[in-house]
Amino acid sequence: MTSITIEAADREFAALDLGTVANDLALLRNGVVVASRFGLSSDSTTARLTFPGGLVIDPAGSAILELHMRLKDAPSEAGIRLGVDASGIEVEQPSGALLLIEVRPAAGQNFPLWTNAASSSPASLDASYSNFPNPFAAGRENTTFAFYLPQPGRVTLRIWTPRGDEVLTLIDEERPAGMYQSDRWDGRNGKGVSVVNGVYVAELEVRFDGGESRRLLRKIGVRR
């Protein structure tokens, strides 16, 4: 892969000029920046992120990329979501016509691929708790959780069946205040077996050091 072009839309999928809401964009692989675009001008409609030397992906494997964005001081009140279309993913084609690479979305998804809508409202645990993608394909991809801790505390994240049976405990540890967006669930239970299709409940419980506690629930769709 040689580059990815990122575009933007508001909460209702109306097109936005990316440069009006974002300053910088970066793609990370295993915590390392592999492509970036800094200093977007206000008239930039999209952002093309180029991989120096190319991004090599094993034909039988996959690569997980994290997209980080630094917002303008006053982003749109209509919210923002980032997306990529098939035409925005450039790959280095082999010389033989019989080996041409075709860009396709994962099973059950369609181009363009969009993130959930985000806004610049003040950070809070309730407003920040989310996961993406949702639904997701258990055993073949991960869903990533995000949440903001306004103060340090003990964080517990458990996955439950709708009947109240525990699938696994994903997090159970003390964490400092801050934004977290790298905790992943691969759709497997505590025994390493992929769960069946259906709706599950992600319970986030935080016991803050100050004595307060919060318990939040999210429904997660799983498909195979």
pTM of the model: 0.58
Q: From the CB of residue 157, how many other CB atoms can be counted at a distance below 10 Å?
A: 24
Cβ proximity of 19 and 42 under 8 Å = yes
What percentage of the chain carries pLDDT values higher than 90? 58
Rg, the chain, Cα only: 19
Query: For residue 75, is pLDDT > 60?
Result: no
Q: Which residue has the tokens 């299709």?
A: 197
pLDDT, residue 153, reads 96
Query: For residue 37, is pLDDT > 70?
Result: yes
Among 116, 117, 89, smallest CA distance to 102 is for 89
Band of residue 58 on the pLDDT scale cut at 50, 70, 90: confident
Tell which wins on pLDDT, 195 or 70.
Answer: 195
pLDDT, residue 119, reads 67
- Local structure of 126: helix, strand or coil: helix
pLDDT digits (tens, 9 = 90+) for 140-184: 889 999 899 999 999 999 999 999 999 999 999 999 998 888 899
Q: Is 53 left (phi over 0), alpha (psi -120 to 50) or beta?
A: left
Structural domains in the chain? Answer: 3-114 (no CATH), 125-223 (2.60.40.4070)
Band of residue 76 on the pLDDT scale cut at 50, 70, 90: low
Cβ proximity of 213 and 207 under 8 Å = yes
Query: For residue 70, is pLDDT > 60?
Result: yes
pLDDT, residue 97, reads 67
Strands of the 136-137 sheet, one edge to the other: 136-137, 213-223, 198-208, 153-160, 166-175
